[in-house]
Amino acid sequence: MRRAINLTRRVRIGLAVAAALAALSGVAVSSEPDALPSVRDDLTEKDLARVRAITEPTADFSKTEDFEPMPGGAATSRKRVNHDAFSHPSANLSFEEQGTFKLGNGLFRKLWVSSPSSTQASDGLGPLFNARACQSCHLKDGRGHPPEGNADATSMFLRLARAAETAEEKTMLARKAALNFPDPVYGGQLQDLAVPGLAAEGRMKIAYEETPVMLDDGSVVSLRKPSYSVSDLSLGPLRPATTLSPRVTPPMIGLGLVEQIHPADILAKSDPEDSDGDGISGKASIVRDAASGEPTLGRFGWKASTPSIRQQSAEAFAGDIGISTPDVPHHWGDCSDAQKDCLALPNGVQERLGETEAPNPVLDLVTFYSQNLAVPARRDVGKPEVLAGKKVFYQFGCASCHTPKFVTRRDAPNKAHAFQLIWPYSDFLLHDMGEGLADGQSVGDAGGSEWRTPPLWGIGLTEQVSGHTFFLHDGRARNLTEAILWHGGEAQAARDGFAALPKADRDALAKFLESL
pLDDT digits (tens, 9 = 90+) for 405-463: 999 999 999 999 999 999 999 999 999 999 999 999 999 999 999 999 999 999 999 99
* pLDDT score of 297: 97
Cα distance between residue 514 and residue 499, in whole Å = 19
Question: Stretch 363-381: mean pLDDT, rounded?
Answer: 98
- Decide: helix, strand or coil at residue 187: strand
**Contact predicate 322/194, CB 8 Å:** no
Residue 150 above 90 pLDDT? Answer: no
Cα distance between residue 12 and residue 18, in whole Å = 10
Q: Over the chain, what is the mean pLDDT?
A: 92
For the chain, how far is it from start to end, CA to CA, in angstroms? 48
Is 441 or 121 the better-scoring residue by pLDDT? 441
**Contact predicate 120/113, CB 8 Å:** no
Query: What is the pLDDT confidence band of residue 38, given thresholds at 50, 70 and 90?
Result: confident
Query: What is the pLDDT confidence band of residue 228, given thresholds at 50, 70 and 90?
Result: very high
Residue 26 above 70 pLDDT? Answer: no
* pLDDT score of 276: 87
Query: What is the pLDDT confidence band of residue 22, given thresholds at 50, 70 and 90?
Result: very low
| Count of residues making up the chain | 516
Residue 33 above 60 pLDDT? Answer: no
E strand or H helix that includes residue 516:
none
Residue 392 above 80 pLDDT? Answer: yes
Cα distance between residue 220 and residue 485, in whole Å = 11
Residue 254 above 50 pLDDT? Answer: yes
* pLDDT score of 144: 94
pTM of the full structure: 0.92
Kindly report the number of other CB atoms within 10 A of residue 195's CB atom: 18
Query: What is the pLDDT confidence band of residue 314, given thresholds at 50, 70 and 90?
Result: very high
- Decide: helix, strand or coil at residue 300: strand
Residue 15 above 70 pLDDT? Answer: no
* pLDDT score of 149: 64
Question: Stretch 258-273: mean pLDDT, rounded?
Answer: 96
Strand partners, 227: 207
**Contact predicate 90/254, CB 8 Å:** no
Is 5 or 17 the better-scoring residue by pLDDT? 17
Residue 5 above 50 pLDDT? Answer: no
Which residues touch 510 (CB under 8 Å, ≥6 apart)? 389, 480, 481
Question: Stretch 272-280: mean pLDDT, rounded?
Answer: 89
Question: Stretch 62-82: mean pLDDT, rounded?
Answer: 97
Q: ω into residue 237 within 30 of 0, thus cis?
A: no
* pLDDT score of 351: 87
Show the CA angle centred on residue 271, arms to residues 267 and 272, nearest 5°.
Answer: 110
Cα distance between residue 78 and residue 513, in whole Å = 19
Residue 32 above 50 pLDDT? Answer: no
Residue 72 above 50 pLDDT? Answer: yes
* pLDDT score of 192: 95
**Contact predicate 179/16, CB 8 Å:** yes
Is 302 or 24 the better-scoring residue by pLDDT? 302
* pLDDT score of 7: 34
Sign of the CA dihedral with 271 first, then 273, 275, and 279 last: positive
Burial of 491 (0-12, 13-18, 19+ CB in 10 A): buried
Show the CA angle centred on residue 263, arms to residues 366 and 304, nearest 5°.
Answer: 60
* pLDDT score of 119: 81
Question: Stretch 259-263: mean pLDDT, rounded?
Answer: 98
Sign of the CA dihedral with 39 first, then 44, 50, and 51 last: negative
Cα distance between residue 495 and residue 437, in whole Å = 13
